[in-house]
């Protein structure tokens, strides 16, 4: 079942991981082995969680990579569903 309006995973990362630990973007980026720009893009919803980033997050925060990717898929699917009526797709007959 799809959530009504799932948050961007970057928002979850910020609220549930970085803020409770008092980590700055710079500190977290260094710990994750990525640039500050890369992490900032995710935290601000301008970039998504890639499979590699999901693995990095799973190692750093003792979570699963699947949980991060599932959040991203739910968010992406919701965004696509919001644009459903604008899509030009023809129905195909059943086989």
pTM for the structure as a whole:
0.89
pLDDT tens profile 31-47? 999 999 999 999 999 99
Note the Cα 57 to chain centre separation in Å: 11
Cα separation of 63 and 77, whole Å? 22
Residues 6+ apart with CB under 8 A from 83: none
CATH number of 9-78: 1.10.260.40
The confidence score (pLDDT) of residue 4 equals 80
The confidence score (pLDDT) of residue 24 equals 98
pLDDT tens profile 44-93? 999 999 999 999 999 999 999 999 999 999 999 999 999 999 999 999 99
């Amino acid at each position: 079942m799809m959530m009504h309006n799932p948050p961007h995973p970057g928002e979850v990362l910020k609220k549930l991981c970085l803020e409770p630990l008092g980590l700055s973007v710079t500190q977290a980026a260094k710990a994750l082995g990525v640039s500050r720009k890369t992490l900032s893009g995710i935290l601000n919803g301008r970039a998504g969680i890639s499979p590699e980033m999901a693995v990095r997050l799973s190692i750093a925060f003792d979570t699963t990579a699947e949980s991060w990717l599932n959040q991203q898929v739910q968010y992406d699917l919701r965004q696509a569903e919001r644009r459903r009526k604008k899509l030009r797709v023809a129905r195909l007959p059943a086989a």
